[in-house]
Amino acid sequence: MAFSNIKQAIKISLLLTNPYFEQDFILYSLVLNENIVPLLTQTNTKGEELPILFMRKTLHDYELKYLDLRK
């Protein structure tokens, strides 16, 4: 479910939108193999979820030893 929401939010707008701090934020996090992918979105007045921030962090050996997020 979360992965399909991430894909949909990225498809709606290829550009990142400005945040509106008076509105709620939606944060998704996806763990794929050694990668953590956070996506921050907000819903606009039309009900569309638009991306604000998209990142990817590759974990290294020492980081993978502390917490197993792949379960």
**pLDDT of amino acid 15:** 78
pLDDT at 4 over 70: yes
Is position 50 within any domain? yes
Domain range spanning residue 46? 2-64
CATH of the domain at 52: 3.10.20
- Cα–Cα–Cα angle for 48, 51, 57, nearest 5°? 150
pLDDT at 66 over 70: yes
**pLDDT of amino acid 61:** 80
Tally of domains within the chain: 1
Is position 8 within any domain? yes
pTM of the model: 0.64
